[in-house]
Structures are given as structure tokens and as C-alpha cells.
Structure 1
Amino acid sequence: MINIPKIFKTSDHQEGRAVLPLLPLRDIVVFPHMVSPLFVGRTKSINALSEAMNDEEKYIFLATQTNPGEDHPKQKDINRIGTVAKVLQMLRLPDGTVKTVVEGKHRARITDFEASESFFKVHLELLEEPDLEEGEREAYLRNVVDAFKAYTQQNKNISKETVETISNLTDPVELLYTAAAQFSFKARDNQQLLETQSLTERLTYLIELINQETVILQTDQRIKNRIKKQMEQSQKNYYLNEQIRAIKKEMGEDESEDNELKELEERIENKELPEEAEEKVRHEFNKLKRMTPMSAEATVTRNYIDWILSLPWFEKSEISEDIDEAEKILDEDHYGLERPKERILEYLAVQALVKKIRGPILCLVGPPGVGKTSLAKSVSRATGREFVRLSLGGVRDEAEIRGHRRTYIGAMPGKIIQSLRKAGANNPVFCLDEVDKMSMDFRGDPSAALLEVLDPEQNYGFNDHYLDMDYDLSDILFITTANTLPDIPVPLQDRMEIIRLPGYTEYEKYNITELFLVPKQIRLNGLDVEKVKFSKNAVYTIIRNYTREAGVRNLEREIASICRKIARKVAKTGADKVIHVNSRSVEKYLGPVQYRRGQLEEKDLVGIVTGLAWTQFGGELLYVESAIMPGKGDFNVTGKLGDVMKESARAAISYVRSRSGQFNIDPKFYEKFDIHIHVPEGATPKDGPSAGIAMCTSIISTLTRLPVRRDLAMTGEITLRGRVLPVGGLKEKILAAHRAGIHNVIIPADNEKDLKEIPATIMRQIQIVPVQHMDEVIGRAIVVEEGSYLYRRDDGEAEIPDFPPRDPGKSSDNDRPAIADI
């Protein structure tokens, strides 16, 4: 035990009590038997040291603050138990701080404070250390020394002299504080070692702290050893890599190859792939690492991996399920087209209910310019999907669809996979344009390759030759477009839902022009929508006299032409007034009238019949003329007609010969006369089963010398027995008749069901006459006398049918409805 300081024997005339200056410590605890240097900067602390140095004994009391951050501690901020220490040295530094060295002597408790402006003085009570029994003392001494030695085995920074000194101590208190001074325990742990009254508890707590430090040091050493090994391995790898780089440099290879492989490996790790694709790409990457970077095979493998990683295997656009918003978008972008819009809205409704359905395959069939491709874009906007367009016109290589096998030089995936890469999503609206214009050669049939793409039962596992693995196309909304349905292979048609877009009526064209085309072209040509006005008559004049199409593409060109001329005028003169475009000024802008429609013959003529035909550009009038001349029964058909129309002409001749008696025709006419049937506009190819009854009517009119009604058009095919067969494209043909100002149309009776597709505004202006037999056609088309039409029953008796009368002198201009009436 240490000697009790003299000051505790004399102060206050009381044994074990004294009054000393206080030096608060921030985050350090000074133990008895511990010599410690301190740096003091606070004024009160410096004054306390000065006071201690002025005393003969040079004693001061050291107590730790409860809050180290407090710069001006008060009584409540000071721990009550601390250490009485002797100031061994005090040195003032140039910066105003004081360095002092103190030696801890004994524990003491603060009983009272003396308030002072310059420093604290405290009344102290000396804390005596209890003695231990001999056996207990030896046990604690041994355990403390053993724990300390175990620690020093891990910490080589503690000298052997320190270990020997601590091992030779026999005083438990001196051993306690001397050993504790060798550790960097936390301040609260050191304070507990100082405050605990029971010596055995203090020794037990010290042993626990030393064991904890030993465990921490062991763990820290293991971590350091592991890091050291890793660093050694890393240094070894670095050295080997440097050697490899040097070798590659000598061989002329690029050092950036290693960085590319690392980047590629990171992409593989970060990319979410299907199980099959992940196995494939890792296998190919392992092969790539073993290859010479400059080899051709390495380039092929690297490109293959890059393709797999760049595809949107699981990336999908969020699909909008708001049907009202989708309907609004579709109506904003397109006027009319009710059936395609209805089908898209049905799809969205089912998707909202089912959540997961296979993408439908829609095929929009119609003439150019009716809005097939733009409708696909609107579907993309309405559904929130990405939009991809692939034009198939002229594609004749199967590899364009399925991709090339990697054995070929320059191999690439097919257009389907390439387009998905551009889209960046696995569920876009995929528009396959001009699907009817694909061709084939020795490299395969691309339409056959499309069968798997467009089959909802197969395209969830589409196998591209380049990828050589299945890719799921079932979430894609495929929309195909075509001008003519017969040009699409039948197996391909079977996989698609056909939606026809036959063309627009004049009324629909007018609305499209007003709502879309005019504002668009005005803006594109730098004009102000408020300064350029197209009248209703001007729009109808452009539609009727400068375009002849089912769509609106040429109509838009003509409007753009007018806008350009207006823009030139505005740029030249700087005029800021409103420019009105009316029906009279249209010819000034566009030149002479291009098409004169609706000008019927001034009177009924013999042998001239107005037929109706369907083309990929919409419906057209088909004028059929026939003539007879003395000869030997030769039969000629001219006008660049196809085989089907030539066969129709021969069938008409046979029918006329079989019924010559009923029509008062010489039964030997085919021996005495040559018959010539001509369809004008011979440069235009014409074919199809729709002109049989027109040819037959023309022949009968020529042979009987009876005229044909000029304001009547007809369509239908004929059999040898005179039966009228149904035809296709009825809506386009009726629209063509309407555009030409014809208000009476004969159609096959079997085609009456198709009249539902024709707009009501058109049906109100056209009289439709369904017929089943050629006799009905002749009876309604042949003019017997002015205002009368021949109709012969099978018994040969003539009848005047219930057919709308016509004024023979009525001009064609008055036959057309006024623009305001449409």
C-alpha cells in the first residue's frame, strides 16, 4: 500500500481529509501509480496547476468530466471519484498551453466544492484500499498476470521489461492500476475501475477487459493476415498480369483487351437473363477468355455475347389499361376507321381483366394512304408501348427474318431480333409493313419464316438462327399492313386477324382534311393557322378534281403544294392578312383540273357499259365497249386484261349464244360477225372476277342495237347459265361509283350482306339493285325506249320493272349532289 500523503494527515485537523485544486480531464482517467503527461489549455485548469505548484507538496486532484465536450464544466459535470496526483513538471508552451507531468498517488472522493472564479477547489475524502486474504490475493495476482501475458503474446509492442515488472508485483492495487495503464480502455471502463469500491470486483472487471482486448487483437490479427495474403496474391497476380501485358505488347496486341473483358464480365453479372441464355453466354465468355483477342473467332464470339446482353429479355413497357384515354387518343389521331379502333379497345379491355394475354396479330388491309401505318403508331401511343416498324417490301431472304447461322461470315440476327434491340422493350407494338410485297428466291421464302413469328401458339419460343435459343415474342402486339389480301400467302393469312380499310368517302376525306391535313401542312410550311383558311368548296374541289385515290396521301400533297405557294407569297410580300383559299383559287394554285369525274354520257349509247372494278388503290370505274363488224366470227378482247377477265368475256359470248332467241338476236351471228370487246385505259393492268355481267350487257346491247342506261354501273360475275355470282371489294366499288356521281348500281344478290359496311351517308345517295340472274341485269340496263327498260322473264314475255325512272335529258352535273348537301 502507498503512503498516505502528508496533506491528508494535517488538513482540517482531520485524518484522511484535504482541500486541493481541481483539474478536470476531458476523456482520460489517471490511475494511482501512473505517470502521465497532460496538455492543459483552459484558463481555470492552468490556474489550478499554478496553485498546486505554489504549494510545497504540489498535490492536485484529477477528475474526469462526465461530458468530454463541455468547455466550462460545472459541479454536476465532474465525476465525484478521481485521483490525487503530484505535479512533477510544468512547462508553459508558446501557444499559451501548458504541458505538465503528473503522478497518480491515491483514490479520493469529492465531498464538497469551493466556488472560485479562477479555479475549482474541492474537499476530498481519501479512499482506503481493503486488504485481501493471502490465498485470494495470490489467485487474483496470478489471473491478472496470466491474462496480461496472453495479451502480450498477441501484441508484440509491449516490451519484455514491462511484462517482467508486472509479473513481479505483489500488491493487488498496484498491479491493478499498472496493468490497466498499458491498455487503451474506454474512459467509462477506466472510470469504473477507479470507482468500484470492492477490490475483487475491480480485479475481476480488469481481467474481463484484458480478455476482451485479447480476443479483439486476435480477430484483428486474423483479418490482417487474411488481408496480407490477399495483398500478396494480388501483388502476385499483378506481377503476372504485367508480364502478360509485356508479352502481348511484344506480340503487338492491344492492352485494352483485358479492360474489355472485365467490362464484358461486369455486364454479364449485372444482366438478368433466362437460364438458357445465361448458360450460353457464360460458356461463350469462358471460351473468349482462352482465345487470342486478334483472332476472327474471338470477334465472332464477342459480338455474339454482346447481342445476347443487349436484348430486352425481361424489360417491358408499362401498358396503359385506361380504355377511355386510349379511345380518346385513337380518335385524336384518326377520323373514322371504327372497326380497327374497336378491335384495339377490345384488346385493352380483355388485357385489363385477364392481365396476361398473348399479343394478337392484326392485319390491316387497304389501299395506300388510308392510314394503316399511322394507325399502328396510334395504337402504340394509346397502349403506352414502344413502337417498332419493319418494312418487308422486297425482302426475299429467309435470313432477314430468322437471322444467319454463326458459321457464316458477317452473320447477324434477323430483323425481328434487331428491332427488339432498338426498341429496348420486350412488348412493343411491332408494325410489319407491306407484308404482301415479300418475294422469294433461292435463299428461301421469308413468308414461311414469318409463320412462326406470327403464330400466337408458337412465337413464345421463336428460335433465331444466330442466337440459337428460344426468344419469347408472345408479349408483342404485332400489326401487319398490306395493300392486297390475295398476295399474302394463305398460311400466313390464317395466323392473322384481317381488318379491312377500304378507303374514305368524300365526306370522310373532307373531315380528315379539315381536322388533320390542313393544320399540319400550314404548320410545316411556316404559316399561321389563323392566317390561312380553306373553304369547304375548296377542299371538295381538291378531292374531286385533283385526286383519284381511296386514301388521302395525294390529297395531302396537293394541300402541301397550295401551302408552299402561299408561303412563297408571304415571304416575298410580307403580307400579314388572312388568306382565303376557295374553289376558284384552287385552279390558280394547282393548275388545270386533273380528273373530271361524274361526267356521264349525254345520252344512252349502244355497247358502252359502266362496270366497277377493285384495285389495290381502291375502287375504279371500268368502262366496257364492244363492237361488231362483218367477218368470220373472230372474237377479240383488248385492254391489257388478265386471264380471268378474258374467261369472263368468253363466258358472256356463250351465254348470249344460248339465249339469242329470247333477245331476238340472229342465232348465226357468231358466224357472220367479228366481235371486239375493249376496256379503255389499256396501259392499266386489269384482272379479276367482277366484269362478267358488264361484258355480257355490252355484247347484247351491240347485237340488239339497243342502248345501255348511262347512269347505271354494275359489278358481278356470270356463269354459262346466266347466274350472277358474288364478287369482292364491294365497298370500294360503291365508293368509286359515288365519287363518279353514279346513283344506281347493280350488284349480285349474294353481296347484299356486304352493304352493312358502307356508310349510311353513301347508301342514302345510291340506289342498290341486287340481282340473281343475267336476265334481270339486261332488263334493268337495256333501254327499250326513252324512259323504259327491258326485263324479260323466263317465259320470254317483256316487263317494265319497278326501277327508279331517269330523265333522259338530265345532265351529269346535276346528277351529283351539291357540296352543301354532302
Structure 2
Amino acid sequence: MAKQTKVTVPLLPLRGLLVYPTMVLHLDVGRDRSVQALEKAMMDDQYIFLTTQIDMNIDEPTTEDFYSMGTLTKVKQMLKLPNGTIRVLVEGVKRAEVISFTDEKEFYEVVLETFDDSETKESETEALMRTLLNYFEQYIKLSKKVSAETYSTVSDIEEPGRLADIIASHLPLKMKEKQRVLETLAIKDRLQLVIQTINNEKEVLNLEKKIGQRVKRSMERTQKEYYLREQMKAIQKELGDKEGKTGEIEDLTKKVEEANMPEHVEKTVIKELARYEKVPSSSAESSVIRNYIEWLITLPWSKETEDDLNIIKAEEILNRDHYGLEKVKERVLEYLAVQKLTQSLRGPILCLAGPPGVGKTSLARSVAESMGRNFVRISLGGVRDESEIRGHRRTYVGAMPGRIIQGMKKAGTINPVFLLDEIDKMSSDFRGDPSSAMLEVLDPEQNSNFSDHYIEETYDLSKVMFIATANDLSTIPGPLRDRMEIITIAGYTEIEKIHIAKDHLLQKQISENGLTKGQLQVRDDALKSLVRYYTREAGVRGLERQIASLCRKSAKIIVSGEKKKVIITNKNIEDFLGKKKFRYGQAETEDQIGVATGLAYTTVGGDTLQIEVSLSPGKGKLVLTGKLGDVMKESAQTAFSYVRSKTADYGIEEDFYEKYDIHIHVPEGAVPKDGPSAGITMTTALVSALSGKKIRREVGMTGEITLRGRVLPIGGVKEKTLSAHRAGLTTIILPKDNEKDIDDIPESVRNDLQFILVSHVDQVLEKALVGDEK
């Protein structure tokens, strides 16, 4: 590119327009400075410098607001228009660059350095020209904005620089890209730049074409589906065909009318039906909407069973199915009596708490039968996800309602007896706390507007009679426990177990094992042996398994033809079940030193604990074994401290803690044991071991101890007493404050036991130690 002599000419800034050399085009000039620059050019040699503004929105540009590289042009014609603007015809001459400004007052006048394109042609330049023309031809075929005649005109150009400029002027480029072509002085670089630019434009056009075709096909398919669907509707209407979606909508609408929903729910269902009708059956959303509508329709919103308020009949059913359990039966009958008087009552929320196998679940079923209500049960054991109770949001894949709503659908009425089994087995993790979600379900003040995430509409649970079951109340959070009325089922006495076995379990197992009453007879003394020597539990589940074993073995004998009738007595029961598994009564056979019998309460009922104390030469070290919890260890420390403070009173050496190491052990070391109720037992065992006095073998005791020797009340008196009775103890030492709990103990057990109420350890030792004159 040869540089030429510098020239001084007026400058005319352009907005949104760029002129290449050899281009001829019309311009409308209206700004004052531009008009004066044009007049100056006409007065001189008609040359004017055209350059483009960087920002076309500026009306009064300064020297910084336009590009320094532009085109030196010659004005061919000038015409003044009626509106005051001037129309000029200009022709681009050559590229030029501003060196300096000579005048900036009335118009811009600049000193330019101009550039000429070299006319030499090389083979590489020729190849670039051919490539550019080829690309431009392809671009014209893709783009409808450039006519085919333009290619004919362009293909005749032999100058490479001019060819690049003309083609660039026909491309829909941004102003920066056009300016970049103008500023590229080297011809090869300019050709390559335009080739690259036109290639990019080609790719964009190809993509636009593909997208356009895809959209067109999609629109055609949608229109076709709509047309066919309308045709199908018309055909179904003419044929009276109800199998299509039209018939389905009609069926669903009919079900909505029959469901007798609340007004706000019915509006929601009708709205969803309208959506379902519009959505294509092939769409994934169609099945989601359909499932939601089905749930709302099938849920019971107003259907309820009429309560059978015949209290005598209800009492007969409860007594027929369950022996004992007087408190629970009384509570259910109270509820029926109040409902009969008021004709309106919120459903109570009962919690049956007790060890496994005492009949909590079957009792709830009997309650439903006695009231004439539907029964539904859900198991909460192992539930860790809050969504199991409240349901999942409908936006999730595979969403469904929570277990409460599922249970209501299964029940089919709004007032069933709803059993929440194993409510103490719920746990929480990162997915939420289900026990917190249960608070709304079990709150009589809130459950009339229960909200499920899937259903979204409020649901009334206030007429439901909720019955929960639990083995261990300590694992139920306080707020949840506060919403329930706790009814404790401690377990069965020996007499009650024999009655249950005779009246219920035996008949059930005879029937289930294909026998008849005439083929198998189990005598009362055999049932007593079953209870005493083959089971040791609070409930009757193990007892039922032993009876089932008797039935199976009897069935084998009858089928093999050995006998036609089997009679089981106390004498031959070992032939069927083997040697006795338990010794009746765990009480010691003789009075011993340092061994006291304590009474404990576990999640599976009451139990007896043998607390042993042994002495060995040492320096007063206290060793505790038997997998004891923190509370039990503290009871041992308290008992030890109390005995040290009372050595003179109990005839114990004052410096025993300097001579002996004391080892306190509670057998069954694999079983965790905890609780405060072993305090007086440990104290008695310690005093016995240190004083050499024996402890009465028939005495069992329970109570918490303080450092001053006071005996504090404990819980689980009924369970502990039953376990003592099973173990063959005859005397029970209880804290005086637990006197009120003795009334809960069955009369048959109370008559066999002597209860000693104490308020101080001295009273315990007086009754427990042999020959203790105090």
C-alpha cells in the first residue's frame, strides 16, 4: 500500500453508515457543521472526508467520537430538499487516515494521509479472490437478501482490494466489523478477513435454516394432531363411543358430582379436569393430572359410618375379644357414653403403651368393631422421612400423598378408627422429622385443617378416632406425647394368661392348624405349666407360639394314625415341648449375704434383678459391672457414700473402705440396664456384704435413694410387681409415695403379696435383713 501526499479537506461524520472506496451512494446531510463542511468542499475541489461515528446517538460529536480511518470521497451532485436537508451523491476515492485537525470551529477540517491499493496480482491473491467469490455465491443462495444479479456484477471485478470492499458492503455486518475491513490495508489480509466473515455468516444462515425447518415440522405435527383429535371427537360423538378421552372426562365429571366434596375442593378438581382435557394423552403431565384428580375423587370427603352407641353391646364385644385391660375398655365406653349424650365430639387420641404381645393392635380393631366404624392401620416403625406423613410435592417424579391420606382413602369414611402402630419407632434424619409432622395430625385443635403436600387442599381429620401404640414412651418427643392420652397396658398375670390361652389362643390355633376341638384337648394344669415353665414374658405372643407348637405336633400324631384324639396334661407336656425352659420363680432358694433382689422396668415389661456385692482385700476401690447406665452408676455411688456415713449404725467397720475393694455386679452383662429404682437394692446388698447379715430371699424391692437415706418414688409399679409375682417373691418393698399405684395391680396378685411401704433406708434394712433388730 503506497502512501501519498497529505491533503487537507473538510470532514463529514456519518451515523450508522460506512463508505468504502469506489462506492457510489446518496447521503442526506442535515446537521449545521456537516452542511458547512459540504459547502466548503464544493467551494474548493469537491473532495470531502467521510468517517463513521463510534456512537451514532451523539448529535454533536467531538474529535474523539469518530474513527480516524475513513474514506476520501468526491461529491458528484448536491441537491437541496424542501425540508432543509441536502442530498448529495458521493463516490469513494481512496482510504485515508486523519493526521491532525486544522479547524474545529464551524466545521471540522483535517489533514489526511491517503492510501492506494497496489494492483499487483499474485497466485495466492488470485486463489483468495476465487475462494471469496465461491463463498459469496453460496451465501447468496442461502440468503434471500442479496439478489443473483449482484453476484454477476461482483464477479466481473478484477481488483482484489475493490472485490473485498464491495462484497463486505453487501454483508449484514455490524459497524465495528465493517470498520475493521476498512482499516485492513494489506489486500491479502483484507481478503482473508472477508472470507472468514462470510464463512461465519454462512454457518449462521445454515443454523437458521435448520431451526426454521424444525419449527415448521413441529408446527405441522401439532396442527395435524389437533386436526385428527378434533376428527376423533366428532367420530366418537357420532358413534356414541365413550372409550376415548371425551368419555373419560364425562365419567370423571360424574364422579366429582357424586363425591360430595367441599366447594373449594370441587373448584380445584373442575379446574384440573379442564387442564387434563387440553393436555395430549401422550404428554407426561397428562398422567400426573389424572392421578391427582383420581386421588381427590376417591378420598372420602363427607361419607361417614353411623356410630353404634349401644354401650352394652360394645362392652360385650370388648370383653369377648380381650380378657382384662379394664382401663382401656372403660375409656372407650366413656367416649361412647359422652358421644351419645352430646351427639358431637372430636375424635379422641389414645396411646396404648406397653410391652409387646399384650394385645395393643388387636384391641384397636375390637374398638372399631364395638363402635361400628371402619378400621385402618398404618405402621410407623422405621419411618424417617417427613414426606411419609405429609406426602410429596406434585412437582416431584412419582409423587404421592402421605400415609395419613392413603389410610383415609383405604378407610373410605371420614370417621374411621385409625391405628398408628409403633409410634415410638419413628426416627429423624436429613429428610426431616416425621414426629414433628405428626403434631398436626394428632392435635384436636389443628387436625380439622390437615394439609398434605400432594393433595394441597385442607382435609378434615377431626372425626377420626386415632389410637397409637408404643412400647417405650421415653422415645416419643414431649410435644407429641402431650397430644395423646396415655393408657398403660402393663402385662398379664398368670391367671389372666391361662384365661386368654383357654378362651382365645387355643381355639384360634386349633382352627389354624386344621384340627377340631374333639381331636385336641389341653387340660388346665397343662396350660398352667405352659405359662410357668415355657414362657416368661409380659404379653402372650410366646405363649401362642407354644400352643401352636402343641397343635402342630398333635396334627402329626393324628395324621400318622397313632391316635385319633390327643390329650395334653401336666404329666405328658414335656413329651411335646421338651424339658422345661424356665424355673418357676427366680427367687433365691435360701437367704444369702450380699445378694438383693431388685425390681426393674424394661420396654418388654417388668423384670427382677439380682444385685450382688462381693468384698476383696484392697484400698476401697468401687467396681461396677453388668453394663449399667449412667443413672444406675450414680445410684451405686450414692449407696456407697450413704453406707460410709452410717457405718456405726449398721455395725460396719469404720475403715472398711481402706481395707476392701467392693465389686457390685448385676447379672446378664449383655443387657443394658439403667434407671434410678435400684438405689435401695444396692444399699441393702452393700450393708449385707459389709455387716455379714443375710437378706431375706422372699423380699423384692425398688426405690430411689438420697444421700440422707430418704426413699423416693419410682415408676412402673404394676409391671415390677407382676414380674416379682412371676418370680415367686412374696414381699415387696415400695416407696411410701407409690402407695397410690398399688390399686392398679390386679387383685389376684395383690392377695398373694405383702406390700411394705417405706420412706427411709432404715425401714428397708429392718424388713430385708435377717435378724436385724433395727
Q: TM-score, normalized by length of structure 2? A: 0.68
1:374 offset after TM fit, Å? 0.5
Structure 2 counterparts to residues 365-384 of structure 1, below 5 A = 365-384=353-372
Q: Which amino acid aligns with 2:386?
A: E
Partner in structure 2 of residue 62 of structure 1: none
Partner in structure 2 of residue 772 of structure 1: 759
Q: Equivalents in 2 of 1:401, 1:692: separation in Å?
A: 42
1:247 offset after TM fit, Å? 13
Gaps in structure 1 of 5+ consecutive residues: 1-237, 249-253, 792-822
Structure 2 counterparts to residues 352-751 of structure 1, below 5 A = 352-573=340-561, 575-576=563-564, 578-598=565-585, 600-751=587-738
Q: Which amino acid aligns with 2:627?
A: K
Partner in structure 2 of residue 71 of structure 1: none
Mapped contact 1:610–1:623 kept (Cα < 8 A):
yes
1:548 offset after TM fit, Å? 0.6
Mapped contact 1:748–1:770 kept (Cα < 8 A):
yes
Per-residue CA distance 1:633-667 (angstroms, 9 max, x = gap): 22111111111111111111111111122122223
Q: Equivalents in 1 of 2:617, 2:748: separation in Å?
A: 48
Structure 2 counterparts to residues 31-430 of structure 1, below 5 A = 242-243=230-231, 256-430=244-418
Partner in structure 2 of residue 207 of structure 1: none
Q: Equivalents in 1 of 2:744, 2:292: separation in Å?
A: 51
Deviating more after overlay: 661-670 vs 360-369: 661-670
1:298 offset after TM fit, Å? 2.3
Structure 2 counterparts to residues 791-806 of structure 1, below 5 A = 791=774
1:242 offset after TM fit, Å? 4.9
Q: Equivalents in 2 of 1:322, 1:602: separation in Å?
A: 53
Partner in structure 2 of residue 33 of structure 1: none
Q: Which amino acid aligns with 1:413?
A: P
Assess, with a 3 A threshold, how the Cα gap between structure 1 residues 605 and 412 changes in structure 2: closer, same or farther: same
Assess, with a 3 A threshold, how the Cα gap between structure 1 residues 271 and 599 changes in structure 2: closer, same or farther: closer
Q: Which amino acid aligns with 1:323?
A: I
Mapped contact 1:778–1:790 kept (Cα < 8 A):
no
The answer to whether structure 1 residue 789 and structure 2 residue 764 are counterparts is no
Mapped contact 1:405–1:411 kept (Cα < 8 A):
yes
1:265 offset after TM fit, Å? 2.8
Q: Equivalents in 2 of 1:269, 1:714: separation in Å?
A: 67
Per-residue CA distance 1:447-499 (angstroms, 9 max, x = gap): 11111111111111111111111100011111111112212111111111111
Mapped contact 1:782–1:790 kept (Cα < 8 A):
no
Mapped contact 1:311–1:421 kept (Cα < 8 A):
yes
Aligned-residue CA RMSD (Å): 2.0
Q: Equivalents in 1 of 2:691, 2:468: separation in Å?
A: 50
Q: Equivalents in 1 of 2:455, 2:709: separation in Å?
A: 59
Per-residue CA distance 1:146-205 (angstroms, 9 max, x = gap): xxxxxxxxxxxxxxxxxxxxxxxxxxxxxxxxxxxxxxxxxxxxxxxxxxxxxxxxxxxx
Q: Which amino acid aligns with 1:708?
A: I
Mapped contact 1:245–1:255 kept (Cα < 8 A):
no
Count of residues in Structure 1 that have an aligned counterpart in Structure 2: 544
Larger Rg: 1
Q: Equivalents in 1 of 2:420, 2:585: separation in Å?
A: 38
Q: Equivalents in 2 of 1:341, 1:775: separation in Å?
A: 42
Q: Equivalents in 2 of 1:466, 1:446: separation in Å?
A: 16
Q: Equivalents in 1 of 2:299, 2:380: separation in Å?
A: 22
Gaps in structure 2 of 5+ consecutive residues: 1-225, 237-241
Q: Which amino acid aligns with 2:595?
A: I
Q: Equivalents in 2 of 1:457, 1:649: separation in Å?
A: 46
Q: Which amino acid aligns with 1:420?
A: M
1:687 offset after TM fit, Å? 1.1
Partner in structure 2 of residue 166 of structure 1: none
1:241 offset after TM fit, Å? 5.2
Mapped contact 2:233–2:246 kept (Cα < 8 A):
no
1:530 offset after TM fit, Å? 2.7
Q: Which amino acid aligns with 1:444?
A: G
Per-residue CA distance 1:364-422 (angstroms, 9 max, x = gap): 11111111111100011111100001111111111111111112221111100001111
Structure 1 residue matching 2:610: 3-state secondary structure? strand
1:255 offset after TM fit, Å? 8.6
Assess, with a 3 A threshold, how the Cα gap between structure 1 residues 716 and 509 changes in structure 2: closer, same or farther: same
1:281 offset after TM fit, Å? 1.0
Q: Equivalents in 1 of 2:572, 2:356: separation in Å?
A: 28
1:270 offset after TM fit, Å? 3.1
Q: Equivalents in 1 of 2:653, 2:409: separation in Å?
A: 73
1:309 offset after TM fit, Å? 0.5
Per-residue CA distance 1:540-593 (angstroms, 9 max, x = gap): 1000001010111100110110011001110110733x4221011111111111
Mapped contact 1:780–1:790 kept (Cα < 8 A):
no
Q: Equivalents in 2 of 1:631, 1:409: separation in Å?
A: 70
Mapped contact 1:373–1:481 kept (Cα < 8 A):
yes
Per-residue CA distance 1:705-726 (angstroms, 9 max, x = gap): 2111111110111111111111
Q: Which amino acid aligns with 2:322?
A: H
Q: Equivalents in 1 of 2:259, 2:576: separation in Å?
A: 59
Identity of aligned residues (%): 55
Deviating more after overlay: 750-759 vs 697-706: 697-706
Structure 2 residue matching 1:411: 3-state secondary structure? coil
Assess, with a 3 A threshold, how the Cα gap between structure 1 residues 701 and 308 changes in structure 2: closer, same or farther: same
Give the 4+ runs in structure 1 shifted more than 4 A.
238-242, 244-248
Q: Which amino acid aligns with 1:789?
A: D
1:618 offset after TM fit, Å? 1.0
1:525 offset after TM fit, Å? 1.1
1:754 offset after TM fit, Å? 0.2
Q: Equivalents in 1 of 2:657, 2:730: separation in Å?
A: 35
1:263 offset after TM fit, Å? 2.6
1:239 offset after TM fit, Å? 9.5
Structure 2 residue matching 1:486: 3-state secondary structure? helix
Q: Equivalents in 2 of 1:790, 1:408: separation in Å?
A: 77
Q: Which amino acid aligns with 2:445?
A: E
Per-residue CA distance 1:58-100 (angstroms, 9 max, x = gap): xxxxxxxxxxxxxxxxxxxxxxxxxxxxxxxxxxxxxxxxxxx
Structure 2 residue matching 1:573: 3-state secondary structure? coil
Structure 2 residue matching 1:584: 3-state secondary structure? coil
Q: TM-score, normalized by length of structure 1? A: 0.64
Mapped contact 2:713–2:738 kept (Cα < 8 A):
yes
Deviating more after overlay: 342-351 vs 266-275: 266-275
Q: Equivalents in 1 of 2:475, 2:235: separation in Å?
A: 62
Q: Which amino acid aligns with 1:659?
A: K
Partner in structure 1 of residue 741 of structure 2: 754
